[in-house]
């Protein structure tokens, strides 16, 4: 293939290495970096999908890719050749994970060396990728994927929180792309038949193949929304705890983009959705409009917000490191650090503390985070309960929500893990506590 700027797929691959580098150097999430990238958004839909798949696949197996590359490089690449390292990384991802024809990968990778002003490394990239195309897949498969693709601090934290075996099962669950899962406004059974989807024990729908969400049946009619089956649990638990009461007034704190707001509003409750981000609340409004649901939307800081009216129930789906969603966001392992856990745990405690002040006798509060880190889940609840002696846990029965009993912690909170419900495509890792102030 001639080394022209317009060779097929070259622009997409160039965008892929730029995005990979930006995520790693800025520690901003992949979705955020892609949304802000003009060259990425100027590409056609098909090329954007390819870049997304390529970069996400590279992140999912980055530790393993780097280990394989190390075994082919006689000495480390020079510091200034950082782009070359990323060219090799996405080269390996294409050859081994996406099974792209080797000649296309080698040719475009060599051209990318020119384009990134690394012409001196063309020979090396050519030789390494050719050898990997020949024999790399076997070597790659022999590596300890679960261990290599998990940052050390996360591995150690999960080992200590869940034990060796479960830690490995969590890491193994991260190696595979999860299915597309939907929450249905009403009558999931009928929609499952129409969409040829699987109705999960939790009540969510699992689709056999993903594709463009906006072109799936029922999207325009607002019949369903994308939401992992674990992400649907906090609102279900709150609604179950409020059962028997009429016309609930519910405060949904940290609500955007509104997956849980939609569940609460669909139940008939009067919902106030609060979030600090105007931009994310604009998305929440759009989502509710499509779903034909309503909520009062407030831009405010949940750590200081007091509702003007009394409320029956509060849901705090607090901002967190989101380490429970690494199946869907494999970049998280590379963008989060241990100090993020501590910083967010402080914010979570502040939010919970503020909400305690506003919780009326008889009021129910559900606290949830999509983090696997104990500091953001059980430790936050423990600290708040130690301070507010009148706050009690309401019992949660996991089987009522289609979950195995093992998802209930010793303390009575719900703890889902990415390796749970493996026969149904797994689920995100959530911690959920259901608290109340007896009235």
Ligand X SMILES: C[S@@+](CC[C@H](N)C(=O)[O-])C[C@H]1O[C@@H](n2cnc3c(N)ncnc32)[C@H](O)[C@@H]1O
Q: Which residue number, 9 or 234, has a Cβ lying nearer to ligand X? A: 234
Rounded CA-CA distance 361/201 in Å is 34
Q: Residue-wise over 70-95: b if at least 16 C-beta within 10 A, else e?
A: eebeeeebeeebbbbbbbbbbbbbbb
Radius of gyration, CA atoms only, the chain: 23
DSSP H or E stretch at residue 40:
helix 38-41
Nearer to ligand X, 275 or 331 (CB): 275
Asked if 312 is part of the footprint of ligand X (rule: CB under 6 A), the reply reads: no
Closest distance between ligand X and the C-beta of residue 139, in Å? 39
Choice between 257 and 429, CB closer to ligand X? 257
CB of 279 vs ligand X, minimal distance in Å: 8
Annotated active-site residue in 113, 167, 370, 434: 370
Query: 383 phi and psi, to 5 degrees?
Result: -65, -40
Report how far residue 181's alpha carbon sits from residue 190's, in angstroms, rounded to the nearest whole number. 16
The residue whose two tokens read 């479960």 is 166
**Least distance to ligand X, CB of residue 286, Å:** 13
In the complex, the smallest distance separating the C-beta of residue 349 from ligand X, rounded to whole angstroms, is 12
Q: Is 428 in the site for ligand X (CB under 6 A)?
A: no
Element (H, E) at 103: helix 102-115
Q: Restricting to residues 369-388, name those near ligand X by CB under 6 A.
A: none
Tell me the closest approach of the beta carbon of residue 283 to ligand X, in angstroms: 9
Q: Which of residues 248-307 bind ligand X (CB under 6 A)?
A: 254-260, 275-277, 280, 301-303
Residue 382 CB contacts under 8 Å (≥ 6 apart), including other chains:
411
Nearer to ligand X, 91 or 319 (CB): 319
Binding residue count for ligand X, defined by CB under 6 A: 16
Kindly give the pairing relationship between strand 249-253 and strand 270-275: parallel
DSSP assignments along 348-376, one per residue: HHHHHHHHHHHPPTT-EEEEEES---GGG
Where do the H-state alpha helices sit in 336-437? 338-358, 378-387
From the CB of 157, what's the least distance to ligand X, in Å? 20
34 versus 274: smaller Cβ distance to ligand X = 274
To the nearest 10°, report the CA torsion of 172, 174, 175, 180.
Answer: 130
Return the number of the residue (110 or 303) whose C-beta is nearest ligand X.
303
Q: Kindly state the smallest distance separating residue 427's Cβ from ligand X, in Å.
A: 15
CB contact at 8 A, 394 and 364: yes
3-state SS of the chain: helix, strand, coil percent to 5?
50, 10, 35
> C-beta of 231: minimal distance to ligand X in Å?
6
Q: List CB contacts of 120: < 8 A, sequence separation 6 or more.
A: none
Closest CA to 140 of 213, 91, 78, 199: 91
- Judged by beta carbon, residue 107 or residue 428, the one nearer ligand X is 428
Q: Is 370 a catalytic residue?
A: yes
H-helix or E-strand spanning residue 39: helix 38-41
For ligand X, which residue of 63, 179, 319, 363 counts as binding (CB under 6 A)?
Answer: 319
For the record, the structure tokens of 306 come out as: 């007091």
In this structure, what are the phi and psi dihedrals at residue 45, rounded to the nearest 5 degrees? Answer: -50, -45
Residue that the structure tokens 């294409």 belong to: 94
Please identify, using beta-carbon distances, which residue of 317 and 331 lies nearer to ligand X: 317
Check residue 317 for interaction with ligand X (CB under 6 A): yes
- Of the candidates 199, 92, 322, 278, the one whose C-alpha atom is nearest the C-alpha of residue 84 is 92
Tell the smallest beta-carbon distance from residue 282 to ligand X (Å): 11
Q: Which is nearer to ligand X, 61 or 260 (CB)?
A: 260
Q: Which residues of the shown chain bind ligand X in the complex (CB under 6 A)?
A: 254-260, 275-277, 280, 301-303, 317, 319
What residues are labeled active site? 370
């Amino acid at each position: 293939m001639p080394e022209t700027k317009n060779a097929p797929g070259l622009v997409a691959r160039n965008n892929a290495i730029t995005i990979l580098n930006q995520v790693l150097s800025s520690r901003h999430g992949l979705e955020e970096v892609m949304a802000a990238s003009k060259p990425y958004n100027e590409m056609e839909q098909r090329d954007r999908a390819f870049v997304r798949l390529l970069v996400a696949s590279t992140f999912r197996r980055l530790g393993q890719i780097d280990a394989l590359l190390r075994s082919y490089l006689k000495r480390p690449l020079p510091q200034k050749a950082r782009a070359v390292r990323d060219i090799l990384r996405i080269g390996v991802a294409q050859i081994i994970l996406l099974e792209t024809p080797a000649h296309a990968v080698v040719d475009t990778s060599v051209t990318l060396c020119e384009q990134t002003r690394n012409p001196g490394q063309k020979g090396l990239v050519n030789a390494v990728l050719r050898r990997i195309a020949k024999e790399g897949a076997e070597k790659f498969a022999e590596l300890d994927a679960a261990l290599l693709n998990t940052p050390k601090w996360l591995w150690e934290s999960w080992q200590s929180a869940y034990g060796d075996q479960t830690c490995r099962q969590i890491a193994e669950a991260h190696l595979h792309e999860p299915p597309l899962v939907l929450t249905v406004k009403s009558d999931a059974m009928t929609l499952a038949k129409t969409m040829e989807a699987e109705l999960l024990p939790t009540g969510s729908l699992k689709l056999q193949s993903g594709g463009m969400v906006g072109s799936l049946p029922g999207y325009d009619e607002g019949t369903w929304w994308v939401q992992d089956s674990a992400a649907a649990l906090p609102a279900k638990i709150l609604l179950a705890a409020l059962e028997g009461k009429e016309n609930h007034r519910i405060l949904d704190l940290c609500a955007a983009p509104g997956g849980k707001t939609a569940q609460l509003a669909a139940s008939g409750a009067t919902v106030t959705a609060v979030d600090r981000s105007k931009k994310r609340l604009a998305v929440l409004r759009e989502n509710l409009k499509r779903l034909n649901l309503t909520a009062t939307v407030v831009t405010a800081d949940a750590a200081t917000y007091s509702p003007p009216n009394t409320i029956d129930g509060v849901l705090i789906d607090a901002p967190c490191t989101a380490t429970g969603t690494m199946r869907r966001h494999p970049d998280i392992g590379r963008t989060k650090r241990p100090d993020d856990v501590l910083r967010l745990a402080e914010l979570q405690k502040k939010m919970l503390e503020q909400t305690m002040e506003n919780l009326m006798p008889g009021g129910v509060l559900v606290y949830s985070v999509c983090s696997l880190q104990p500091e953001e889940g059980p430790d936050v609840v423990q600290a708040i309960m130690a301070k507010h002696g009148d706050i009690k846990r309401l019992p949660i029965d996991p089987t009522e929500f289609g979950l195995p009993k093992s998802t209930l912690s010793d303390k009575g909170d719900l703890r889902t893990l990415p390796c749970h419900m493996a026969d149904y495509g797994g689920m995100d890792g959530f911690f959920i506590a259901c608290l109340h102030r007896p009235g």
